[in-house]
Amino acid sequence: MKVRICGITQLEDAVAAVAAGADLLGLNFYPPSPRYIAPGACAAILQVLARQAAPVTCVGVFVNTPPARVAAILDECGLAQAQLSGDEPPADLELLGERAFKALRPASLESLTAQVSRYPSRSLTPAWLVDAYRPGQYGGTGAVADWSLARALAERAPVLLAGGLRPENVVQAIRQVRPWGVDVASGVESAPGRKDRRKMEAFIHAAHQSSQENDLC
Angle 11-20/39-51 helices, nearest 10 degrees?
Answer: 40
How large a percentage of the chain has pLDDT more than 70? 96
Give the pLDDT score at 25: 98
Residue 177 to residue 154: CA distance in whole angstroms: 7
Task: Assign 154 a pLDDT band (cuts: 50, 70, 90).
Answer: very high
Task: Assign 216 a pLDDT band (cuts: 50, 70, 90).
Answer: very low
Phi-psi region of 111 (alpha: psi -120 to 50; beta: other; left: phi over 0): alpha
Return the H-helix or E-strand segment holding 198: helix 197-216
Task: Assign 124 a pLDDT band (cuts: 50, 70, 90).
Answer: confident
Q: Which residue has the higher pLDDT, 124 or 175?
A: 175
Of the listed ranges 77-81, 82-86, 133-137, 189-193, the one predicted with least confidence:
133-137
2 CB-near residues (< 8 Å, 6+ apart): 23, 24, 126, 160, 180, 181, 182
Task: Select from 152, 155, 143, 142 the least CA-distant residue to 112.
Answer: 152
**Does the annotation count 23 as an active-site position?**
no
**Does the annotation count 131 as an active-site position?**
yes
What integer is the mean pLDDT of 109-132?
90
Question: Does pLDDT of 217 surpass 60?
Answer: no
Catalytic position from the list 6, 42, 58, 77: 6
| Residue 61: CATH number of its domain | 3.20.20.70
What's at 188, amino acid-wise?
V
Strands 194-195 and 81-84: unpaired
Q: Which domain holds residue 165?
A: 2-216
Catalytic position from the list 13, 92, 131, 146: 131
Task: Assign 201 a pLDDT band (cuts: 50, 70, 90).
Answer: very high
Q: Which residue has the higher pLDDT, 82 or 119?
A: 82
- The model's pLDDT over 92-118, given as tens digits with 9 standing for 90+, comes to 999 999 999 999 999 999 999 999 999
Residue 107 to residue 95: CA distance in whole angstroms: 27
Domain count, the chain: 1
